[in-house]
Amino acid sequence: MKVLFAALSLAVAGLNASAEEAAAPAAATEGLKVGSPAPAVKFGKFFKGDEIKTLAADQNYIIECWATWCGPCVAAFPHLTEIAKATAGKVTVIGVNVWDDKTPVDKLQAFVDKQGAKMGYTVTVDAEGTIANNWLKAAGQNGIPCAFIVLKGKIAWIGHPGNLDGETVLGLAEGKLSLEDLAKREKAQEALQKEIGEKVYSKARSGDMKGALAAAEEMSKANPEAAKMLKGAMEQIAFSLLVTENSPEAVKQVLAISETSEFLQKASMVVGKGKISAEEFAKLDASASERFAKLGADDGRDKVFCTLLRANLLGSQGKFAEAAAMIEKAKPDLDPQAAQFLDKQIAGFKAKIAAPAVN
């Protein structure tokens, strides 16, 4: 199983240069690395936040690269929002859409608007491949999401935004986090990543998803840092368990762990294919209802798939009329853009009502 979050690897070099020395953008961008002057930027339309034409030499930034088709990028939006809030006034977070050339600007604007509060920072689009070429390619970064921390004109860090937190970024920006502190943190993170590999990923690779999930839960409870690193992986493992076993316990794990619509959608599809006992149904329906109650105004997709999950649970009991009625009742309060999709689900349940039973 692919490790979703790499070990935190922070380093700072050459950050004591004066504002005058850092003001000029890098003339050559090949071999962009920690300590390099930040290359010039060129952005297109700004979908959120104030327009930025250049990176001020006395300011701090996070340049984060994303795309509409990139699931991990979308999953990172709320985390970046937390960082933006934690570092407000000290660091400007800029989400730059890259590698999305076939998506019209108006579609990008609609995509950003739909994210709502999940993208609580400045959002723009790459212009003329400047960020894609002079930042990502020059730094040897072939995947996204990818973030660059820029402190007063210098590249201070390059990596997956999931490996950042507001406290670390703020410490760097304020000069409270020393090179020695970073080195110790990096060493601890590497040791923890190795332990996770031995206790969790080794089981997942051998097909023991139940054992992998149990080990991940145990490590997460014992170590908050491990919990952060395992968050995405636990979703993947729980869903793999759901697919291989189609067990009610696996569904409950997905409901408890998952923070992305993708897993709720897949869980609802798998549940609809299996027969679940009345006792298990009651427990899972309660879990799905509890999850739905916690969702906010910006969780439209999650609300849709939580509703579908509950309907498919009813379907697993042969209660197709009740399943169709549940969706119809919830539909006015769900995302209008999902109306056609929901109508299709309703029609599917109604068709099963009329269909003869198969023994």
The answer to whether 192 and 226 are in contact (CB under 8 A) is yes
- Which of 49-58, 158-167, 203-212, 227-236 has the highest mean predicted lDDT (pLDDT)? 49-58
The confidence score (pLDDT) of residue 119 equals 96
The confidence score (pLDDT) of residue 332 equals 86
Rounded-to-integer distance, Cα 151 and Cα 14, Å: 10
pLDDT in tens, 20-42: 222 333 333 458 988 899 999 99
3-state secondary structure of 164: coil
Which ranges of 29-89 would DSSP assign to H, the alpha helix? Answer: 71-86
Mean local confidence (pLDDT), 260-273:
61
In the predicted structure, residue 246 carries a pLDDT above the cut 80: no
Q: Which domains does the chain have, with CATH numbers?
A: 19-177 (3.40.30.10), 246-354 (1.25.40)
Better-predicted residue by pLDDT, 289 or 79: 79
Tokens standing for residue 108: 């990008």
Mean local confidence (pLDDT), 200-219:
87
Global model pTM greater than 0.85: no
Mean pLDDT estimate for the chain: 80
pLDDT band per the 50, 70, 90 thresholds, residue 305: confident
Rounded-to-integer distance, Cα 149 and Cα 155, Å: 6
Rounded-to-integer distance, Cα 210 and Cα 125, Å: 42
Full DSSP string of 194-212: HHHIIIIIHHHHTT-HHHH
In the predicted structure, residue 209 carries a pLDDT above the cut 90: no
